[in-house]
Amino acid sequence: MNIIKTTLEDFLIIEPICYQDQRGFFLETYHSKKYKEEGILDNFVQDNQSRSSQNILRGLHYQIKSPQSQIVTVMRGRIFDVGVDLRSHSKTFGQWFGVILDDKIGPRQVYMAPGFAHGFCVLSSWADLHYKTSCLYDPTDEGGIIWNDSKINIEWPINSPKLSARDSK
């Protein structure tokens, strides 16, 4: 697999090897030994899946007391995926990075260490995402940052996203 460092510490783009032929394709979305060899040492304990329609924006979400690392994979569709570094000790504290994940371009994943807020917006008709997390989800431990926070100033590729009531506050 190919690991691409971004401008944020511990926020990586992962390009798994994809085997394709006339029948379709095969790829490993996670192989603990291979990921550990690349320095991703987290113990992943929960897998989640979401489906969202075009112009939906989810986030920016994070866990407060038990920050979790994540590996995000787009199974179908195209999204703009964003991480914001919330680790006060980090050189990239308060900074964001965004990347297009698209099942048509080729397999790509995003890895973020514990301490990032995560969000995405859907650019295709529909998008299915798979999340691998290092902590069990606890709704009483969830925090959020408004998607258009002027201090963070994320350059979203959509102007009028569809938001949940919670994400609009």
Give the model confidence (pLDDT) of 108-131 as tens digits.
999 999 999 999 999 999 999 999
Measured from the Cβ of residue 169, the count of other Cβ atoms closer than 10 Å reads 8
Q: What is the pLDDT of residue 111?
A: 98
Catalytic residue among 35, 62, 111, 131: 131
Where do the domains of the chain lie?
Answer: 2-144
Measured between its terminal Cα atoms, the distance across the chain in Å is: 39
The pLDDT tens digits of the residues spanning 61-89 come to: 999 999 999 999 999 999 999 999 999 99
| 4 alpha-carbon distance from chain centroid | 14
Full-model pTM: 0.93
Q: What is the DSSP letter of 33?
A: H
Q: Which amino acid would we find at residue 92?
A: T
> Over 80: is that where the pLDDT of 106 sits?
no
Q: Give all strands (DSSP E) within 54-158, no chain letters.
A: 57-63, 70-76, 78-85, 96-102, 109-112, 116-122, 126-133, 142-144
Is residue 55 a contact partner of residue 20, using CB atoms and an 8 Å limit?
A: no
Q: Which of 19, 35, 61, 89 is catalytic?
A: 61
State which fold the 2-144 domain adopts: Jelly Rolls (2.60.120)
Longest CA–CA span in the chain (Å) reads: 49
* DSSP category for residue 20: E
Note if 31 is an active site residue.
Answer: no
